[in-house]
Amino acid sequence: MQSGTKKDSRPRGRPRAYDPATALAQVRDTFWRSGYAGTSLDDLSAATGMNRPSLYGAFGDKHALYLQTVEHYVEAGRAAMEAMLDNALPLPDALMRVFDEALRWYQPAGEAARGCLLIGTAAVEAVNDEAVRERLGAGLRSFDKAFERRLRYGVEHGELPPEADPAMLSRVASALLHSTALRARAGDSRAVLRATAAAGIALICGAQGSGAAAPTATPTPAKARTPARRA
């Protein structure tokens, strides 16, 4: 005879019938739109279709969930950069691919421009939250390293002059990327942002500007000019 006191082994709350990667993507988009402070647990519950106990059971509290979101965002961004910065491509083309991919993230089709999750949300919370500050710094440094690896390859293979400093140039490239994210949120058009990125890449690669106009003719020195005929 079976005992009527057999424990119910079913988990409390919503059964684990969700995909963690999908849930984190939904959480990421919610934080991305509203920021950390502006996002409630009810917002996250609505975005994922999971009730609060299930969210806590799967990811922890809101703060823990945000930190996981930031970590996943950084990893996805770094992996995308590594793929875009292909050594087989000319350096300017490889760098431009990073900015084209970033613009697709910052300005999703049919949606309001959202910029970068780190710059738009983590930079705000980092002032008073050490855990967020640590992850923000680590994330930005990982992007620097991705640029630096490709730039160092460029120095080693003659795409950049031998005296070029890959570490410093990588920070310049990252700064250009951060500015692109901010200006995307501010409403700059994709055409303007892409043109700005192209000009910055030209400077990084040692050019004097992409598609610069040809030098104008040297003006005739004043002394060599034919004096005006007197009346």
Q: Which long-range contacts (CB under 8 A, 24 or more apart) does 8-17 make?
A: 11/57, 12/53, 12/57, 13/51, 13/53, 13/54, 13/57, 14/50, 14/51, 14/53, 14/54, 16/58
Q: What is the pLDDT along the chain (231 residues), one digit of tens a residue?
A: 334 444 444 444 444 556 888 999 999 999 999 999 999 999 999 999 999 888 888 888 999 999 999 999 999 999 999 999 999 999 999 999 999 999 999 999 888 999 999 999 999 999 999 999 999 999 999 999 999 999 999 999 999 999 999 999 999 999 999 999 999 999 999 999 999 999 999 999 985 333 333 333 333 344 444 444 443
Burial of residue 150, with CB atoms counted within 10 A of its CB: 0-12 exposed, 13-18 middle, 19 or more buried: buried
pLDDT for 1 equals: 36
pLDDT for 159 equals: 96
pLDDT for 16 equals: 52
pLDDT for 2 equals: 39
- Fold (CATH) for 73-204: Tetracycline Repressor; domain 2 (1.10.357)
Domain boundaries, the chain: 73-204
pLDDT for 86 equals: 96
Predicted TM-score (pTM) of the model is 0.79
